[in-house]
Amino acid sequence: MAYQFYQRSMSKNKDHEWLKARTLHVKGLSPDDRSGNYLKHVLERVIGPHGGEVLAVHLVPDFVNQLELEGKILDLKDL
C-alpha cells in the first residue's frame, strides 16, 4: 500500500527526480553492441510484461585507454 502511494506521488511530476529514479546504468557491455540495440531488446523483454518501456539507450564509451594513449603521445611530442 505504501509503495503504491509512493509510486503515484512520484509519477505526478515528471521532472529530474522522476527520470533519475527510472534510469539504469549498465557497465560491461559487449563490444559488438555498439548501437545499444541488443541491450534495448533485452531490457524490453524484462520490463515489457510489467508495462514498462525503454525510452532511450545512451552508450558512453570507456575513455580510460584513450586518455592514457593521448598522454603517451603528448610525452613523445615533448621529447
| 10-residue mean pLDDT series, the chain (79 residues) | 72 71 79 85 90 85 82 87
pLDDT for the residue 64:
80
Which residues touch 35 (CB under 8 Å, ≥6 apart)? 59
* Alpha-carbon Rg for the chain in angstroms: 20
Tell me the pTM: 0.55
| DSSP code for 49 | G
The pLDDT score that the predictor gives to residue 10 is 66
